Structure 1
Amino acid sequence: MSNDMTLVLGATGKTGRRVAARLRLNGTPVRAASRTSPVRFDWSDPGGWDAALDGVTAAYVVPPAVPGPVHEFVARAAASGVRRLVLLSGRGADTWGESTFGLDMRSAEDAVRGSELEWTVLRASNFDQNFDEDLFHAPLVAGALALPAGTVPEPFIDVEDVADAAAAVLGQPGRHAGRVYELTGPRGLTFAEAVELISRASGLPIAYKQVSPAEYAAALVEEGWDETGAHHVAEMFVLMERGKLAGTTDDVAAVLGRTPRTFEDYAVRAAAAGAWLP
């Protein structure tokens, strides 16, 4: 048990709420912050940051969707007495080259890794839970998922493993200092294979269709996305199709001492919870 206060940003999001719960269970004092939490934190409103940081010694950072703000946040954190930062980032961020995808995450990494604080970066592959908690959920419920992803596999990772890793790193000062962990699932799956597993586990007829990045971006705009956001998501698939992010790593085991959860395990749990029922 630690008496040090840990700030968890994005505390109502996919990873943040899970990280906060794990820390509390372990007896760690937690300050859960988001735009809708009792402790409010908004990346676009730096005026509220100091109150969230007051008395904090470690922070779990989920970066905003725009480059820049994490630099000021890190400076504020250091000035307030924060000693450790754990940043969530994207798989293989330093291999993205000239891609316009992930400029926000790369900026956040530069801020954290360039600081004098103890830091750890968790770079995660696409979450399993994107299929039931996020962008892919509604199309699956409607019976068909259309994406610009072909035969290049993706080593999807269960967000529960990401949360386990973040809580472990936050609970072990010094052990993971200056480390970048590339977190993946145990094997790669194409999106078509992932949808097939979801269809089988749920017992529902769900199809997968490959479309072009331009078609996908246009579809997102029709659904109400702004063009910049739609292009950003489509560009992720362009990056993935290069194949540089298709391999798996042993970094979950390095942090947790066990293998990562399988996609099949995720599909069974989500189907049993009725995730894709109409």
Structure 2
Amino acid sequence: MTRTRAHTTNDIHPLTLAIGGNGKTGRRVAQKLRGQGRAVRIGSRTGAPPFDWNVPGTWGPALEGVDRVYVTYYPDLGFPGAAEQVGAFSEAAVAAGARRLVLLSGRGEEAARRGEESLKASGAAWTVVRASWFNQNFDEDFFLEPVRSGEIALPTADAVEAFVDTDDIADVVVAALTDDRHIGRTYELSGPRLMSFADVAAELSKATGREIAYVPVPDEEYRAALRENGLPEEFADLFAQILDGRNAHLVHGVEEVLGRRPKDFADYAREAAATGVWEL
């Protein structure tokens, strides 16, 4: 049974553990919560105390005194073993006194559903946030160097995705962590339009003032590149979710939760370019 409790005057500043609190969404969630005067503990290997998904002995100290948790799993919730770890952690969180868990999941990512169900089974008050591909994949980490080099080579052909901004994700997560109306809900988030990677390259070219090309490559060639760079080959499986069209439509979780339109990729690209992140 899900445990819920209404807000009271003594429940204004609960401690939130933000797992992956230095990452794309976790960092923003932590900043927004702190901006509201709320206490946040960063759940990472460099946190105090440290948190490591692969070292269950770190979970207890990280959960001490925690009332709610933003749960992100690295490298991806759909990867082998993720559901089991998320389930074990969720049970540990409830046993330690955490009453609310908000999980970041992947839109259209069927393998991630097991992770969602394992978290729900913990008995916590839960919210699931399923997000499309992040805008910030292009300036933070994953596609940063390809954009700088002027060539984005991926096995996506002309398939489309509704890229979503991590600030929008973070705003939805903060609402879910702080407002009881979102308990027991699953929200799917996307940006306001469908875009191919060629469309993305065109927007990035416009924002940076230089030519950035999208180059389609065969799946096996991309997998070989992942192996050569020491990255999990399972990353290539995520592109199947774009190629088969399962996410080739817009969803409206941002509007539903926040009452506003999500950020467009062109606005993101213009703001990111202004920081100089893509300058050579």
| Pairing partner for 1:277 from 239, 255, 279 | 279
For structure 2, the residue ranges without an aligned partner over 5 or more in a row are: 1-10, 76-80
| Pairing partner for 1:48 from 54, 58, 65 | 58
Displacement after TM superposition at 1:114 (Å): 2.1
Contact kept in structure 1, 2:108 and 2:241, CA below 8 Å: no
Question: Distance in 1 between the 2:251 and 2:241 partners?
Answer: 19
Displacement after TM superposition at 1:107 (Å): 3.4
| Pairing partner for 1:154 from 154, 161, 175 | 161
SS at 2:187 equivalent: strand
Q: Which residue of 2 aligns with 1:223?
A: 229
Displacement after TM superposition at 1:182 (Å): 0.5
Deviations 1:148-184 (A, max 9, x none): 1122210000011001111111111x21111110110
Contact kept in structure 1, 2:175 and 2:182, CA below 8 Å: no
| Pairing partner for 2:43 from 6, 27, 33 | 33
Contact kept in structure 2, 1:92 and 1:182, CA below 8 Å: no
SS at 2:195 equivalent: coil
Q: Which residue of 1 aligns with 2:106?
A: 90
Does 2:147 match 1:140? yes
Extract structure 1 runs of 4+ deviating beyond 3 A: none
SS at 1:86 equivalent: strand
Q: Letter of the 2:156 partner, please give it.
A: A
Equivalent residues in 2 for 1:128-207 (5 A)?
128-172=135-179, 174-207=180-213
Question: Distance in 2 between the 1:134 and 1:189 partners?
Answer: 20
Displacement after TM superposition at 1:82 (Å): 0.8
Q: Which residue of 2 aligns with 1:244?
A: 246
Normalised to the residue count of structure 1, the TM-score between the two structures is 0.92
Contact kept in structure 2, 1:5 and 1:28, CA below 8 Å: yes
Displacement after TM superposition at 1:188 (Å): 0.7
Q: Which residue of 1 aligns with 2:262?
A: 260
Question: Distance in 2 between the 1:222 and 1:256 partners?
Answer: 42
Displacement after TM superposition at 1:135 (Å): 1.4
Does 2:214 match 1:208? yes
Deviates more, 1:260-269 or 1:66-75: 66-75
Does 2:85 match 1:69? yes
Aligned residues: 264
Question: Distance in 1 between the 2:103 and 2:74 partners?
Answer: 11
Q: Letter of the 2:279 partner, please give it.
A: L
Normalised to the residue count of structure 2, the TM-score between the two structures is 0.91
SS at 1:40 equivalent: coil
Question: Distance in 2 between the 1:179 and 1:205 partners?
Answer: 42
Displacement after TM superposition at 1:39 (Å): 2.6
Deviations 1:51-103 (A, max 9, x none): 1111111100002434221111111111111110000000023xx3xxxxxx4
Displacement after TM superposition at 1:223 (Å): 2.4
Deviations 1:33-59 (A, max 9, x none): 201122310011111111111111110
Contact kept in structure 2, 1:121 and 1:181, CA below 8 Å: yes
Question: Distance in 2 between the 1:187 and 1:247 partners?
Answer: 8
Question: Distance in 2 between the 1:224 and 1:250 partners?
Answer: 36
SS at 2:69 equivalent: strand
Q: Which residue of 2 aligns with 1:99?
A: none
Displacement after TM superposition at 1:28 (Å): 1.1
Deviations 1:222-247 (A, max 9, x none): 2233xxx12x1111112211101111
Q: Which residue of 1 aligns with 2:4?
A: none
For structure 1, the residue ranges without an aligned partner over 5 or more in a row are: 97-102
Contact kept in structure 2, 1:55 and 1:81, CA below 8 Å: yes
Equivalent residues in 2 for 1:107-118 (5 A)?
107-118=114-125
Report the RMSD for the aligned CA atoms in angstroms. 1.3
Q: Letter of the 1:70 partner, please give it.
A: V
